[in-house]
A = this chain, B = another copy of it.
Amino acid sequence: DFLNALNEVRPAFGVSEEELESRVQGGVINYAKHIEEIFTEGKLFVQQVKNSERTRLMSVLLSGPIASGKTALAATIALGSDFPFIKLVTAEGMVGMSENARVSYVNRVFEDSYRSPLSVIVVDEIERLIDWVPIGPRFSNTLLQTLMVLFKKQPPKGHRLLILATSSERTMLSRIDMTKSFDAELAVPNVGNIEELDRVLQSVDYFADPNIRVDILQRLQGYTGTEKVNVGIAKILLIAETAKQDVDTVSCFVETLARAIPMD
């Protein structure tokens, strides 16, 4: 299926697949139905850009809480397309650049993509690219306007582009009318409950033993008094690593995760 497609390597030019692959190094755990659905829809958009007569450009927003797996999923969909041009646009690649330099940089990535017949661009963490901060609020309107224009700019004839953008600030994007700029949206939720957590922990080697997992889930519910989890998968995996350093791995994991679970 789609996930397996990742293993098929493609001849590359102008591709920054390497960096994208580093975003899914830990692999993607199929811990809930919505994970599969996101891949199904992603595949549909890939096909539409590839085949549709009318649709030469498509922009898709993956939004969800911090650490919910947005970047990993966008990277997986991008790598799963068989497009010759795949690029990642990220704030990390622009530290220390002036606003103008950043606009040029982003613009150049898009200009490059217009020269390939089929392209995917992953635009990661829009809020960071536009220097968003809720106090004020402040942000680089120059970067924001550049993105809004590029997200709607048709590639020249014979060229096709899929844009996968991620953000954990959907409310802000909606206030600035940017959500309307996207042709489609994909929601990426947190790990929601005990059952989904169990499926995540199955993939963590030192929690492989089902008895340990039963113990963990029971103690966790003892702390929180609920079946809800609502923590990002990245956070859960990090806490598991911290716990691994402790002598009493299970206790450390349960206590730290319990503190991370939001109270209502």
Residues of A within 8 A of B (CB): 22, 26, 44-45, 47-48, 51-52, 54-55, 66, 91-92, 95-96, 98, 100, 103-104, 107, 128, 131, 133-139, 141-142, 144-146, 148-150, 152-154, 172, 175-177, 180, 183-184, 237-238, 241-242, 244-246
Chain B, residue nearest A66 (CB): B180
**Interchain CB contact under 8 A, A47 and B245:** yes
Instruction: Select which of B48, B100, B246 is within 8 A of A241 by beta carbon.
Output: B48
**Bound: A48/B26 CA distance, A:** 16
Task: Specify which of B48, B104, B144, B183 is in contact with A245 (CB 8 Å cutoff).
Answer: B48
- A228–B134 Cα distance when bound, in Å, is 36
Jot down 16 A-B pairs with beta carbons below 8 A, ordered by A.
Answer: A22-B154, A44-B245, A44-B246, A48-B241, A54-B238, A54-B241, A91-B145, A95-B107, A95-B146, A95-B149, A95-B150, A128-B145, A128-B148, A133-B141, A134-B175, A135-B172
| Contact of A131 with B135 in the complex, beta carbons under 8 Å | no
**What residues of B have a CB within 8 angstroms of the CB of A183 in the complex?**
238
A102 to chain B, nearest CB (A): 10
Choose one: B145, B154, B242; the contact of A131 (CB below 8 Å). B145
